[in-house]
Amino acid sequence: MPGMVLFGRRWAIASDDLVFPGLFELCLRVLWWIGTLTLYLRHRRKLDCAGGVLLSSYLIVLIVLLAVIICTLSAIVYVSMKGTICNPGPRKSMSKLLYLRLALFLPEMVWASLGAAWIADSFQCDKIVVSGIIATVVIRTQTWCPVTLRQASPFSISSRTVSRTTRSPRKWSAIPQGPPSCRSRTTEFDMVGGDQLNCHLGSILQTTGLQHRDFIHISFHNEVYELPFLVALDHKKECVVVAVRGTMSLQDILTDLSAESETLDIGCEVQDCSAHKGISQAARYLYRRLVNDGILSQAFSIAPEYRLVIVGHSLGAGAAALLAIMLRSVYPLLRCYAFSPPRGLLSKSLYEYSKNFTVSLVLGKDVIPRLSVTNMEDLKKRILRVIAHCNKPKYKILLHGCWYELFGGNPDDLPTELDGGNHQDLAQPLLGEQSLLTHRSPAYSFSSDSPLESPTKYPPLYPPGRIIHLEEEGPSGRCSCYTAQYTAKWSHESEFSKILIGPKMLTDHMPDILMKALDRVVSDRAVCISCPAPRGSNVDVV
């Protein structure tokens, strides 16, 4: 696990990271050696031409040199397989083998240069033989002088375009409704940003099933701390809907990464009103747009009897939850539905306060509702402990992981810790708790306390509102014909206090996967919303 020391410096590669690169080069060298040997044995009698002796000598030395390189690579792969992640003792000879391998590059380059010069003067020999040798020299030259092709990465520059039309607050659109398409059309609502062909608008119409006249305001404007959102009227549910978009750009990522907490002024008697800094800044931006710019007043002037509903996904869910807290005093009947919100969002008091009007929805092992600064520190400590106690070499762990990802199975079949607590097999694990203190690098500084047991310096933050957890029933299927079944239950925030590592920790966060799972739960007649928990159960079934 610790980086190797070569040429007086420590590199960001460990001695057990060379198994797969070594095997790859070893396979190429073996094929190369077999081809060169075959070429020499089949055509050595045709090298009795002018310059043939030099070509014959070139092939013989090349075969010997390749054999030495193959032996060196085999030793590197074998040594790299020895030991464990935290026990590099059996791999202490790796640095000498790498020095030897690097030294072999010099005769390779010299011999390839000489071979190129000799071939230039040996065209009197058999053309087949000369062509084979030329191919050998060209391949060797390409190995030492790789050409890096730089491909320009596509990028887009978007500017804020404002397209507004003056309209009466109670005027409905007279535009004939049809299937949404990527073409320009005159709108009766305010729209900020977006593309020229209105493809973004077409996707919203396709997803929501609403009509043009149902929208009050749509903003595609996206900067750091400034999220896209829309305001629409849902006549079926009789509510004014504010929907906030989640992370989809670099600006949104920067908003996510502003993870320190700051005080939130919400004008209520709640103590310790602290929240995620980046998301609270985004919520303030939404508050200014909705209240100060009169967007909500415009919506309720059209439908004054409707109630306010705020929704969002991921980053948008966190901003929606904080926005609901800010608007709670003005709209006491509002409701907030946060889909896959981040965990590191609210202080304990704000978390309890938001339970009155906010519901969060979490699918499976989604990592975002479990993601916070404190949980990341906890995950780091857990990984360090597992690595320190692991008795398997790194390549076996990677192979088992690839097998599980491709063909499924039970990941628990591969033990990652020493059986029976026999930690003597580990020869002073470098990532063990005591070793982190006694063998630390001068470039790092640790406190006198154990880094694995020291308390976090960041205050804990919690997800918003009450939490509905959609759990997959039975083992996860991997074939395309498999249809997952989910159950919904009320869960406590403590169930999301640890980050779970699994193959679905990222896919469970995708909004389309979440909506499909929610549709399956809703369509299941055996599940009813807000029905009481069965007797003897400590968890309320949704």
What's the pLDDT tens digit per position in 188-206? Answer: 677 887 766 678 888 888 8
Residues 6+ apart with CB under 8 A from 187: 163, 165, 173, 201, 212, 215
CA–CA distance, 251 with 155 (Å, rounded to integer) = 14
- Pick 472 or 46 by higher pLDDT: 472
Residue 518 makes CB contacts below 8 A (sequence gap 6+) with: 361, 470
Catalytic residues: 314, 366
Instruction: Provide mean pLDDT across the span 219-232.
Output: 95
SS3 assignment, position 274: strand
The pLDDT of residue 444: 36
- The helix-helix angle for 94-103 and 105-120 (nearest 10°) equals 20
pLDDT score recorded for residue 423: 41
Please give the DSSP secondary-structure letter assigned to residue 225: T
Q: Which pLDDT score, from 0 to 100, does residue 157 have?
A: 29
Residues 235-263 have a mean pLDDT of: 93
Predicted pLDDT at 54: 73
Tell me, what amino acid is at 224?
Answer: V
Percentage of the chain modeled with pLDDT above 90: 42
Q: Which residue has the tokens 């762990």?
A: 397
CA distance 505 to 513: 12
Parallel, antiparallel, or unpaired for β 466-472 and 239-244? unpaired
DSSP state of 288: I
Instruction: Inform me whether the pLDDT recorded for 174 exceeds 80.
Output: no
Given a cut of 90, whether residue 140 has pLDDT beyond it is no
The arithmetic mean of pLDDT across residues 56-65, rounded, is: 87
Residue 61 reports pLDDT greater than 80: yes
Is the CB of residue 322 less than 8 Å from the CB of residue 286?
A: no
pLDDT score of 79 more than 80? yes
What pLDDT is attached to residue 152? 35
CA distances from 206 to 100, 248, 534 (A): 63, 19, 39
pLDDT of residue 99: 94
Say how far apart CA 525 and CA 528 lie, in whole Å. 7
pLDDT at residue 165, rounded to an integer? 35
First to last CA, the chain: 46
Confidence at residue 537, expressed as pLDDT on a 0 to 100 scale:
39
- For residue 367, the model assigns a pLDDT of 94
For residue 150, pLDDT over 70 is answered with: no
> Tokens 């409701």 belong to which residue?
335
Given a cut of 90, is residue 346 above it in pLDDT?
yes
**pLDDT digit string, tens, across residues 83-130:** 888 888 899 999 999 999 999 999 988 888 887 776 665 555 555 555
Distance CA 205, CA 139 (A): 56
The candidate with the shortest Cα–Cα distance to 15, out of 98, 105, 102, is 98
What's the whole-number mean pLDDT along residues 477-493?
A: 75
- Residue whose C-alpha is closest to residue 464's, from 322, 335, 332: 322
> What's the confidence (pLDDT) of residue 177?
42
* The pLDDT of residue 181 is above 90: no
Cβ atoms 171, 216 nearer than 8 A: no
Residue 49: exposure state from Cβ atoms within 10 A (0-12, 13-18, ≥19): middle
User: Does 34 or 459 have the greater pLDDT score?
Assistant: 34
